[in-house]
């Protein structure tokens, strides 16, 4: 079992770090006193959970006296224990606090005094840390990448494709809507009307000429760029709705082709919302 302890200064990115590990399939718990680490490790092992992450910081200051003994007990259980400490310049911490308007856990009248006291308070944790990361110049995405590199975890990405018909209203819970209504419409071909965009002859009709192919290539390039930017920005998934008039022909054909052309970005069709399950 890998047991990660995240600590550091308030405002240095502990919440972001814990969320990153949670997204990487760690069982994540915030603000857990050291004396409870062993119990959590035992519970996780009993349930075959092999990745655990906890945060401990100034909020648990009344329990930090048990730090050394708690770490020793974890290591005696033959766990892979790693301690990560995050810090940043006080001026940067001050700017971050001014943006969030949160109260510092130490509650002094001066935030700068809080930061100095906190550094002293958490010095024992910093001293036993395996890795110290200074997040002064980091964005959330930078910290996310640094942590995944530290743990040798490949960041997965899920590009989810949905199709729909505009006459049934676009979905509201997606990141991007693409309109395919300018492509040739198989609905006006009697032999294709009852079929769907999953049929080869319908897809051939949709992409029948150079203008249609050029439009698809522009769509493919745009979606790749948007998805890669989302991934680089720290997103683990991105939802794209592809629409045509009825949601049966053009949007389905385009989604099927995008799924094939964007496999490297984890593209997969989740739902053809308005496509008939059978012809008709």
Cα 106 to chain centroid distance, Å, stands at 31
Is 9 annotated to bind a ligand? Reply is yes
Is 48 annotated to bind a ligand? Reply is no
Is 13 annotated to bind a ligand? Reply is yes
Q: Are 93 and 107 in contact (CB under 8 A)?
A: no
Is 69 annotated to bind a ligand? Reply is no
Is 60 annotated to bind a ligand? Reply is yes
CA 95 → CA 17, 58, 111, 127, 143, distances in Å?
Answer: 19, 19, 11, 26, 18
Residue appearing with tokens 């766990």: 79
Is 14 annotated to bind a ligand? Reply is yes
Write out the two tokens for 129. Answer: 């840390």
Residue 147 φ/ψ region, left for φ over 0, alpha for ψ in the -120 to 50 degree band, beta for the rest = alpha
SS3 232: helix
Range 185-190, long-range pairs (CB < 8 A, 24+ positions): 185/244, 185/245, 185/249, 185/250, 186/249, 186/250, 187/245, 187/246, 187/248, 187/249
Is 15 annotated to bind a ligand? Reply is yes
Q: Are 38 and 70 in contact (CB under 8 A)?
A: yes
Helix count (H) and strand count (E) of the chain? 10, 9
Per the annotation, binding residues for ATP are 8-15
Per the annotation, binding residues for GTP are 57-60
Per the annotation, binding residues are 8-15, 57-60
């Amino acid at each position: 079992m890998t047991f990660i302890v995240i600590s550091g200064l308030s405002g240095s990115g502990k919440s972001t770090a814990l969320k990153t590990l949670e997204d990487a399939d760690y069982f994540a718990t915030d603000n857990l006193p050291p004396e409870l680490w062993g119990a959590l490790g035992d519970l996780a092992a009993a349930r075959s959970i092999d990745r655990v992450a906890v945060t401990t910081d100034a909020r648990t200051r009344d329990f930090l006296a048990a730090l050394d003994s708690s770490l020793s007990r974890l290591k005696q259980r033959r766990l892979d224990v790693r301690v990560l400490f995050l810090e940043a310049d006080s001026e940067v911490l001050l700017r971050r606090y001014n943006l969030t308007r949160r109260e510092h856990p130490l509650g002094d009248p001066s935030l700068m005094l809080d930061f100095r006291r906190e550094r002293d308070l958490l010095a024992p944790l910093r001293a036993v840390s395996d890795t110290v990361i200074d997040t002064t110049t980091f964005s959330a995405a930078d910290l996310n990448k640094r942590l995944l590199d530290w743990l040798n975890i490949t960041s997965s990405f899920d590009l989810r494709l949905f199709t729909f018909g505009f006459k049934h209203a676009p979905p509201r819970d997606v990141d991007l809507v693409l309109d395919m209504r300018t492509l040739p419409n198989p609905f006006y071909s009697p032999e294709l009307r009852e079929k769907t965009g999953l049929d080869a002859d319908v897809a051939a009709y949709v992409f029948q000429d150079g203008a249609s192919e050029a439009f698809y290539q522009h769509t493919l390039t745009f979606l790749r760029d948007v998805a890669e930017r989302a991934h680089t920005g720290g997103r683990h998934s991105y939802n794209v709705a592809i629409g045509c008039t009825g949601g049966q022909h053009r949007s389905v054909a385009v989604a099927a082709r995008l799924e094939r052309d964007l496999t490297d970005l984890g593209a997969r069709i989740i739902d053809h919302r308005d496509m008939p399950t059978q012809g008709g």
